[in-house]
Amino acid sequence: MPEVVSYALDGDIAVITVDNPPVNALSLPVRRGLAACFERFAGDASAKAAVLICSGRTFIAGADITEFDKPIEEPWLPKVVHYIEDLAKPVVAAIHGTALGGGLETAMGCHYRVAVAAAQVGLPEVSLGLLPGATGTQRLPRLAGVEAALNAMISGRPMPAKVAHEKGVLDAIIDGDLKAGAVAFARDLVKAGKGPRKVREIALDAASLPAGFFSDYRKSIARETRGFFAPEQIIKCVEAAVSLPYDQAVKRENELFMQCMTSPQSRAQRHLFFAEREVSKVPDVPKDTALRPIHQVAVVGGGTMGGGIAMNFANVGIPVILKEINQEALDRGMAIIRGNYEGPVKKGRMSQEAMDKCMALITPTLDYKDLGNADLVIEAVFETMAVKEIVFKELDAVCKQGAILASNTSTLNVDEIAAFTRRPEDVIGLHFFAPANVMTLLEIVRGAKTSNEVIATSMALAKTIRKIGVLVRVCFGFVGNRMFFPYVREAQRMMLEGVPPERVDRVAFEWGMAMGPHGVSDLSGLDVFDKLNKEWKDKPNDPAYCRMIHALVEKGRLGQKSGAGIYKYEGRTPVPDPEVTALAKAEAERLGVQQVEVSDEEIIERLLFAMINEGALILDEGIAMRASDIDVVFCHGYGMPRHRGGPMKYADEVGLAKVVAAMEKYRARYGDLYWTPAPLLARLAKEGKTFNG
């Protein structure tokens, strides 16, 4: 087996090469190899300088994340970094691909850094709920400046080589062959008599920062970092870099890194990191399943959803035909798409040329016959089975053999839709989330007869259009909406019980949700929820179930789009409405719903535990393959914060026994209909296990 780190001489320059595919992660063998090779370099009198370089497609792209929950094994990366820095002969890091996390920290332990123009460097540990714990919080501020370093670490976004060079993180950009250029750079250092240059010795002057810099910086990031633990710890580390001697500041970094490592936020974020990679694996669809080529797509329905769907394909260069029922609707749909593109152009995030190119890829039509050559057709019409039937019978008649026929349905039975065609094996659900051109989730619904080819093609297509594809099976609402309905149900019930909608939304927001359940309901449209409830054949036999939604729709209060729903709206700002409070009280009296006092803790329990219990039923029924798939759905499609890890991971953190105990408490109050613990939940709780164990 070849060594993961090797040592060779190029004249008087030692070349230390890391070869640990696929991304040269800093696993224990790599750390040991680096320590051994640099020790050899230190004792090699013929080597005047060293170049650290990597094989394959990238420089060291970070730590081996699988080691994070294991005991630390020496040499720990900070020791390796300090050993390199303390060498008496100069070391040059030669970077291609990405130098991320521990990779950049290792490079900053070297005395000089060079890179190819296409390289990127960064410290993205914040995305895992961590901070750069191998002296990164101390070194990057010394090289790039305090504010630039904070921005890089808090955002986690990498710097292109050009920017890193301008900021002082890189010493040179290498044209041509990286190894030859880096060796030449090192040889020039030797000729010029330039020895090691330690980043740790670069002075950081606190007096150079504006008064109140750190407090102002905290305020500037408060909204985007709400609920996350690591960003504040990163700021504390940089404060230490500015105010303490280096060794003491490193000690502080170590302490705060361990606090991050053991925090529930980091556990949640690391869980999602792995979940997002696991979600694409489908055990019963072989890896070598043939994919159908998708060269042209058609979308039936040019409304806000259909237009957003079309944009996903145009954005990646796939031509789209957009079908509508009349010219007025078609013109309106194309105008919506144009408006969606014009926003980013005005903000400088997209060029006019790129917008024009995307618009040119979208062809409007009124004729089903124009869809005949499409490889994939996505229906995005009204969410009623009668309309779906008309559309799919038309598609079955005009589409070529082998075309994938997909429905954007959010709740309806994909098997029933497939039965409207003579090719159910080609039918699948592709449930996009609004706005479809922005949201990252694609719920892929396999029917009973959907072929492996269609499933595999759909999963691959999700990546092509930059979505997270989650494969689920058929039931009303699939995974996302089926679990979201209990969440809305409890919010609605609490409204009848006298809990102000704004209080429920505030508590949900403070827990971490992007919006509270009432705000989301108004944004989605109360009429949409009302129609879904009417289509739901197995709706609970409960006259109080989402009664307020129906009552508000009857009064013409449809949500934001009508200027009033659960809230009334001043522009897009929700304002509590006494009329809704009075209506809720009247409905409660009519239904015999008692007014109750609830704590903030109860609000969260009822919203989240109702959802979690439904998730357990979904897992038991095989609707979702993995608990972690459910977590991905909610973090990418429903505004659940990454630092919670999704509903099933949150249940694991709370403890399933505590979830069951709370459910039994509400069962005693409300009866068996909603609060009977799912068999899987009850069993796992009894056995002391977790959903994601």
Compute the distance between CA of residue 91 and CA of residue 85 in angstroms, rounded to an integer.
8
Question: If we measure between CA atoms, which residue out of 155, 154, 50 comes closest to residue 106?
Answer: 50
Compute the distance between CA of residue 644 and CA of residue 612 in angstroms, rounded to an integer.
13
Compute the distance between CA of residue 237 and CA of residue 255 in angstroms, rounded to an integer.
10
Residue 259: CB atoms within 10 A of its CB come to 15
322 sits in which H/E element: strand 320-323
Q: Show Cβ contacts of residue 349 under 8 Å, excluding neighbours closer than 6 positions.
A: none
Provide Rg for the chain, Cα atoms: 29
Give start and end residues of each alpha helix (H) in 467-599.
480-496, 501-511, 517-524, 526-535, 547-554, 578-591
List, in sequence order, every beta strand (DSSP E) within 73-117: 91-95, 98-100, 112-116
Judged by DSSP in three states, 263 sits in coil
Question: If we measure between CA atoms, which residue out of 431, 451, 426, 458 comes closest to residue 443?
Answer: 431
Handedness of CA 334, 336, 337, 339 (dihedral sign): positive
Judged by DSSP in three states, 364 sits in strand
Question: What is the identity of the amino acid at 515?
Answer: M
For residue 668 the two structure tokens come to 């005693």
Question: If we measure between CA atoms, which residue out of 551, 554, 550, 556 comes closest to residue 568?
Answer: 556
One-character DSSP codes across 552-571: HHHTT--BGGGTBSSSEEET
Compute the distance between CA of residue 141 and CA of residue 127 in angstroms, rounded to an integer.
19
Question: What is the identity of the amino acid at 49?
Answer: A
Q: 445, exposed or middle or buried, with CB in 10 Å at 0-12, 13-18, 19+?
A: buried
- Cβ atoms of 99 and 134 within 8 Å: the answer is no
The b-or-e profile of 179-189 (16+ CB within 10 A means b, else e) is bebbbbbbbeb
Cα separations (Å) of 376 from 197, 371, 372, 426, 639?
58, 9, 10, 10, 29
Active-site residues, by number, are 105, 125
- Cβ atoms of 616 and 624 within 8 Å: the answer is no
Using DSSP, how many helices (H) and how many strands (E) does the chain show? Answer: 29, 19
- Cβ atoms of 449 and 418 within 8 Å: the answer is yes
Compute the distance between CA of residue 613 and CA of residue 490 in angstroms, rounded to an integer.
13
Question: If we measure between CA atoms, which residue out of 578, 573, 559, 576 comes closest to residue 520?
Answer: 559
- Cβ atoms of 267 and 645 within 8 Å: the answer is yes
Q: Show Cβ contacts of residue 316 under 8 Å, excluding neighbours closer than 6 positions.
A: 464, 465, 466
Compute the distance between CA of residue 170 and CA of residue 386 in angstroms, rounded to an integer.
62
304 sits in which H/E element: helix 304-314
